[in-house]
Amino acid sequence: MEDAKKANSIIRDGFALLTVEADIKRFEPIKEIFNTASGMLQGDNKDYMEAMLKGWMVSQANNMVFLLWRRGILTPEIEAAYRELPSTEEAVKDYDKFEDEQKAVADDLEAQRKVFAEKQHEIDIFKAVLNGMSKQQAEARYEEYKAQVAKAMKG
């Protein structure tokens, strides 16, 4: 959380130097976003959300410092504080690790869903046969149903 707070300080200090209306509008929401997000850091997902906030805030500080530099208003104090921050790539490493873990969980659940769906497919075909449909008809209807679902999922 320390890096996110340092990044927020850089953004806040840089914001005070902005004079171009478009720049002000671009960075104005960040204070509220940071405060709201910081207040949400609790529960089982605290570490994950904190890692996400850190990466996002460091990226925003990077954007601010570049803008200050481009406008010719970057102060030595802001630059020094900025140089103490990790790079954006370094700041998102924890977030990337959490994302990889989440993806592994999602992939495992998807594999389980596919196993369930295959078993359910067999049961649905069997039920259709018990209701008087030929196995070939049941399979054909099932394929039609799968095509309709796929089409609906694509929008």
Domain boundaries, the chain: 2-91, 102-154
- Is 80 exceeded by the pLDDT of residue 108? yes
Which range among 17-26, 103-112, 135-144 has the greatest average pLDDT? 17-26
Alpha helices in the chain (DSSP H): 2-15, 21-27, 29-39, 46-71, 76-84, 88-91, 93-130, 135-154
- Write the CA distances from 79 to 16, 132, 148, 152, integer angstroms: 15, 77, 57, 52
What are the backbone angles phi and psi of residue 120, rounded to the nearest 5°?
A: -65, -35
* CA 26 – CA 28 distance, rounded (Å): 6
The structure's pTM equals: 0.70
Taking the C-alpha atoms of residue 90 and residue 51, their distance in angstroms, rounded to an integer, is: 11
Measure the CA–CA gap between 136 and 125, rounded to whole angstroms: 9
Query: Is residue 136 scored above 70 in pLDDT?
Result: yes
The reported pLDDT for the residue numbered 68 is: 97
pLDDT for position 94: 85
> What pLDDT is attached to residue 155?
65
Instruction: Say how far apart CA 10 and CA 69 lie, in whole Å.
Output: 13
For 44-91, the pLDDT digits (tens) are: 778 888 889 999 999 999 999 999 999 999 999 999 999 999 998 898
